[in-house]
Amino acid sequence: MTLFAAIIFLIALLGIIGLFSLKAWETSRGTMIAPDLRSAADFQALRLKDLLLAGRKDLEHLPPLLLYATQRIVHGIAVDAGHIAHWLGVQSHRLADAVSHKRNFERGQTKSEFLKKVSEHKSGNGGDNGLDTTK
């Protein structure tokens, strides 16, 4: 991107230098190259200036309209994104249920005596320490 900007800058700079060189050459010779073309270009340039000034006045009334339109567009995008997110959540739950082999999982009792004693101790139902050290 920087290279592109540098190239455009150099082209513009060379164009300006070329125009000043042409003007200096015309002044030294006392002649004008393509006077009809220049007067037509000057007329078109003034016409373009008038159009730009008129467009600038029209654009002064445009920002409130653009602000409202942008607000409505962003609101619509946000609502649609919310609907899509909800739909994706529902579909992900459906997929998880479809691939799960434990659809109605219920936690059962453990068969390990050690784990039973540890869970009794953590819940406070294990007596004094919850561990039998006499064995």
Q: For 53-95, what is each residue's pLDDT tens digit? A: 998 888 787 778 888 898 999 999 999 999 999 999 999 988 8
**Residue linked to tokens 């600038």:** 56
Are 120 and 130 spatial neighbours (Cβ–Cβ below 8 Å)? yes
The answer on pLDDT for 104 being more than 70 is: no
> How many Å apart are CA 69 and CA 66, to the nearest integer?
5
Neighbouring residues of 19: CB distance < 8 A, sequence distance ≥ 6: none
The answer on pLDDT for 105 being more than 90 is: no
The answer on pLDDT for 40 being more than 90 is: yes
Neighbouring residues of 18: CB distance < 8 A, sequence distance ≥ 6: none
Mean pLDDT of 33-51: 94
Percent of the chain with pLDDT over 90: 51
φ, ψ for residue 130 (rounded to 5)? Answer: 85, 0
pTM over 0.75: no
Please tell me the predicted confidence (pLDDT) of residue 114.
85
Average pLDDT over all residues of the chain: 86
Please tell me the predicted confidence (pLDDT) of residue 66.
84
Domain range list for the chain: 1-34, 50-95
